[in-house]
């Protein structure tokens, strides 16, 4: 079976068999094949890229472009649309910089901090009308029809929204949102960090203008990410200036930039990270999104059967579907206890969860009255035993804190 002994493919889980890891929304575990590729580079191919005429430099340069294609394949697009970044935060900052002249920016109330602060830094607020915040429904979704009304009221705006919330865990109707936005000449960026490891994002049919992702949330390395641009890169001014971005220049101000993503990838890149990201993208494609969805639904059933959703002290934030949605993030408010206290005690049992405002302050403050949430986030390497250990540890903690 595809997921038999799956923990052995992730070194941290293999090396600590007692660890019940439920913090994948913060960082997924890194697959062994990713680590192997990065170690191969450091141990046998250490060099710089796109500059050397010697063998390993040429090879690694080619391998970096292969990694670009591997990410492109995961999104069903072409490699010239993929740029490497330091992570999704950098990608979102770049998108904000390129679209700073938009009359209005539309976000949602479940955004990550990385998709809020860059817009606030431009002086946009809801009071001055330059920032519009889409509400979510009780179910946790953005209602596309209500969003369409907002789009109609703000033609030529820019829309930057999370595709899957790291608090609510549901994935929005991305295709419909993009279609409605484009009717009113509104470009769309998706923060796909919580989506790309579990939901297919096919750019051949989803005409989003930008998509950002992070390697550490898709079984890859930290410090590396990608930015997809349907519009290409030549139309944008460089976000950063430096070596590796230019064909030639002189002191009179004549600068001839490279075409495509290289125009913006300044300096020596995170070579090992790029290689690892490519392998991670290929690994997800190998596993297959249908298989991932089935496994995540199975894990949710295990959590249900173990009793996670029946613990009186924990109240699930927003609706939980009947296993029909592929969902791997479950956030709770703690009725009479502080979530940090619960987290600290279950951590003593080698159970890893996340608490606090999880870099999504507005929505967490709204649902928890500023107290913070207790978040359980799964992925396909979780087992039924993990689920039982999680719930048993929570009950043990509640008895201690009673």
Q: Are 197 and 247 in contact (CB under 8 A)?
A: no
Of 45, 70, 43, the residue nearest 56 (C-alpha):
45
DSSP codes of every residue in 279-341: HHHHHHHHH-HHHHHHHHHHHHHHHHHHTGGG-TTEEESS---SS-S---EEEEEESSS-HHH
What value, to the nearest 5°, has the Cα angle with vertex 53 and ends 50 and 59?
65
> What six digits make up the tokens of 296?
């995540």
- Beta-bridged to residue 20, according to DSSP, are 351
pLDDT in tens, the chain (402 residues): 799 999 999 999 999 999 999 999 999 999 999 999 999 999 999 999 988 899 999 999 999 999 999 999 999 999 999 999 999 999 999 999 999 999 999 999 999 999 999 999 999 999 999 999 999 998 889 999 999 999 999 999 999 999 999 999 999 999 999 999 999 999 999 999 999 999 999 999 888 999 999 999 999 999 999 999 999 999 998 888 888 888 999 999 899 998 999 999 899 999 999 999 999 999 999 999 999 999 999 999 999 999 999 999 999 998 766 556 789 999 999 998 999 999 999 999 999 999 999 999 999 999 999 999 999 999 999 999 999 999 999 999 999 997
In order of their start, the domains of the chain are 6-30+288-401 (3.90.1150.10), 34-286 (3.40.640.10)
Residue 105 near residue 158 (C-beta atoms within 8 A): yes
Q: Are 280 and 290 in contact (CB under 8 A)?
A: no
What φ, ψ does residue 44 adopt, rounded to 5°?
-130, -15
Residues in the chain: 402
CA pair distance 226, 72, nearest whole angstrom = 10
Give the integer Cα–Cα distance in Å for 167 and 62: 39
Q: What is the pLDDT of residue 322?
A: 56
CB 367 within 8 A of CB 317: yes
What is the C-alpha to C-alpha distance for residues 328 and 377, in angstroms, rounded to an integer?
5
Q: What pLDDT digit, counting tens, does each position of 337-346 carry?
A: 999 999 999 9
DSSP secondary-structure letter at 254? -
Q: What is the pLDDT of residue 52?
A: 81
Residue pLDDT, tens place only, 217-268: 999 999 999 999 999 999 998 888 888 888 999 999 899 998 999 999 899 9
Q: Which helix (H) or strand (E) holds 92?
A: helix 88-98
Measured CA to CA, the distance from residue 246 to residue 63 in angstroms comes to: 21
Neighbouring residues of 219: CB distance < 8 A, sequence distance ≥ 6: 10, 28, 29, 30, 31, 34, 197, 280, 283, 284
How remote is the C-alpha of 34 from its chain's centroid?
A: 18
Q: What is each CA distance from 26 to 139, 166, 255, 354, in whole angstroms?
A: 22, 8, 40, 8
Are 221 and 249 in contact by the 8 Å Cβ rule? The answer is no
Euclidean distance between CA atoms 35 and 369, whole angstroms: 41
* Extended strands (E) in 26-168: 82-85, 105-108, 131-134, 158-162
Six-digit token string for 118: 């860059």
Token output for 139: 């179910």
End-to-end CA gap in the chain? 42
Structure tokens at 99: 């679209």
């Amino acid at each position: 079976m595809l997921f038999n002994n799956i923990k052995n493919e992730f070194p941290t889980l293999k090396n600590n068999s007692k660890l019940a890891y439920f913090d994948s929304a913060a960082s997924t575990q890194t697959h062994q094949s990713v680590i192997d590729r990065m170690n191969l580079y450091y141990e046998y191919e250490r060099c710089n890229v796109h500059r050397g005429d010697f063998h390993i430099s040429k090879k690694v340069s080619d391998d970096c472009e292969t990694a670009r294609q591997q990410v492109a394949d995961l999104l069903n697009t072409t490699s010239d649309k993929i740029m490497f970044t330091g992570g999704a935060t950098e990608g979102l900052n770049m998108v904000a910089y390129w679209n700073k002249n938009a009359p209005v920016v539309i976000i949602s109330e479940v955004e990550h901090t990385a998709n809020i602060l860059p817009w606030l830094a431009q002086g946009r607020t809801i009071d001055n009308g330059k920032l519009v915040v889409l509400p979510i429904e009780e179910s946790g979704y953005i209602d596309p029809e209500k969003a369409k009304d907002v789009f109609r009221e703000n033609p030529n705006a820019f829309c930057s929204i999370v595709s899957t919330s790291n608090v609510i865990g549901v994935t929005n109707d991305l295709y419909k949102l993009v279609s409605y936005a484009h009717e009113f000449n509104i470009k769309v960026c998706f923060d796909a960090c919580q989506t790309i490891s579990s939901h297919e994002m096919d750019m051949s049919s989803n005409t989003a203008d930008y998509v950002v992702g992070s390697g550490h949330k898709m079984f890859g390395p930290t410090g590396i990410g990608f930015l997809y641009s349907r519009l290409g890169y030549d139309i944008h001014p460089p976000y950063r200036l430096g070596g590796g971005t230019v064909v030639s220049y002189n002191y009179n101000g004549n600068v001839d930039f490279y075409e495509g993503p290289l125009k913006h990838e300044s300096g020596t890149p995170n070579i090992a990270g790029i290689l690892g990201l490519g392998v991670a993208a290929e690994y997800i494609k190998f596993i297959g999104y249908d298989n991932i969805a089935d496994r995540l639904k199975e894990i949710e059933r295990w959590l249900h059967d173990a009793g996670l959703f029946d613990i009186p002290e924990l109240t699930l934030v927003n609706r939980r579907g009947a296993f029909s949605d592929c969902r791997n993030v479950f956030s709770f408010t703690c009725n009479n206890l502080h979530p940090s206290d619960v987290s600290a005690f279950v951590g003593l049992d080698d159970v890893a969860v996340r608490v606090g405002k999880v870099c999504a302050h507005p929505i967490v403050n709204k649902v928890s009255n500023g107290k913070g949430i207790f978040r359980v986030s799964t992925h396909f390497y979780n087992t039924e035993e993990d689920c039982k250990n999680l719930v048993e540890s929570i009950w043990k903690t509640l008895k201690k804190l009673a």
